[in-house]
Structure 1
Amino acid sequence: MDIEELTRKCLSAGTDEEACARHLREQILSMKPGVSADYALAMARAVVEEVKNSNRAVSDIITYTKADVTMGEFGVGSRGAGDFFAHRQFPKIIGGTDASVGVDEMDDAGAVEAGGKYIITTVDGMHSRLSDYPFLAGFHVTRATLRDVYVMGAKPVALLSDIHVGDDGDVAKIFDYTAGIAVVSEAMAVPLVTGSTLRIGGDMVLGSRMTGCVGAVGIADHLTARTATQPGDCILMTEGAGGGTIATAAIYSGFPEVVERTINLQFLRACEALLKSDVLTRIHTMTDVTNGGLRGDAYEMAETAGCRIVIEEEELRSLVDPDVLRMLDALEIDYLGVSLDALLVVTRPEDADAVIDIVRSTGVTMKKIGYVTEGPGDAKLVSGGEMTDFIPRFRESAYTPVKKVVDTTPHDLEAMKKRVAQAADAARDKKEKILRSLQRAE
Structure 2
Amino acid sequence: MEIGKIPTEVLKEVIFSNIKHRRSEVLVRPNIGEDCAVVDFGDYVCVMSTDPITGAIKDIGSLAIHISCNDIASSGVEPLGIMLTIMAPPNTTKEDLSYVMAEANKAAASINVEIIGGHTEITDAVNRMIISATAIGRQAKNKLVLSEGAKIGDAVFMTKHVGLEGVAIIARDLEEKLKDKVSYDIIKSAQEFSKDISVVKEGILASSVGVHSMHDVTEGGIFGALWELAEASGLGIEVYEDNINIREETMQICKLFSINPMRLISSGVMVITISQDKKDLMVEAFNSKGMDITEIGKVIKEGRIVIKGDKLIDLEPPYVDELYKAFES
The TM-score by the shorter chain falls in which range? Answer: 0.7 to 0.9
Partner amino acid for 2:289?
A: T
Is the 1:269–1:362 contact (alpha carbons within 8 Å) kept by the matching residues of 2?
no
CA change 1:156–1:235 in 2 (3 A) is: same
Partner of 1:229: 150
The 5 A counterparts of 1:306-325 are: 306-316=234-244, 319-325=245-251
Partner amino acid for 2:155?
A: C
RMSD: 2.2
The counterpart of 2:139, out of the listed 183, 205, 220, is 220
The 5 A counterparts of 1:126-205 are: 126-130=53-57, 133=58, 136-201=59-124, 205=125
User: Is 1:240 paired with 2:161?
Assistant: yes
The counterpart of 2:205, out of the listed 259, 273, 279, is 273
The 5 A counterparts of 1:86-101 are: 86-88=10-12, 89-97=14-22, 98=24, 99-101=26-28
Structure 2 gap segments, 5+ residues each: 180-186
The counterpart of 2:35, out of the listed 73, 84, 108, is 108
Is the 1:320–1:340 contact (alpha carbons within 8 Å) kept by the matching residues of 2?
no
Select the structure of larger CA radius of gyration. 1
**Greater relative contact order: 1 or 2 (C-alpha under 8 angstroms, separation 6 or more)?**
2
CA change 1:154–1:348 in 2 (3 A) is: same
The 5 A counterparts of 1:338-417 are: 338-341=264-267, 342-375=269-302, 378-392=303-317, 394-403=319-328
Partner of 2:220: 292
Partner amino acid for 1:176?
A: Y
Give the 3-state SS of the residue equivalent to 1:350 in structure 2: coil
CA change 1:287–1:393 in 2 (3 A) is: closer
CA distance in 1, matches of 2:129, 2:197: 25
Is the 1:128–1:211 contact (alpha carbons within 8 Å) kept by the matching residues of 2?
no
Structure holding more strand per residue:
2
Structure holding more helix per residue:
1
Shift of 1:346: 0.6
Give the 3-state SS of the residue equivalent to 1:325 in structure 2: helix
State the percentage of identical aligned residues.
18
Shift of 1:372: 0.8
Is the 2:80–2:136 contact (alpha carbons within 8 Å) kept by the matching residues of 1?
yes
CA distance in 2, matches of 1:165, 1:327: 30
User: Is 1:121 paired with 2:40?
Assistant: no
TM-score with structure 2 length normalisation?
Answer: 0.87
CA distance in 2, matches of 1:266, 1:196: 24
Partner amino acid for 1:138?
A: G
Shift of 1:400: 3.9
Partner amino acid for 1:314?
A: D
Is the 2:8–2:317 contact (alpha carbons within 8 Å) kept by the matching residues of 1?
no
Partner amino acid for 2:159?
A: T
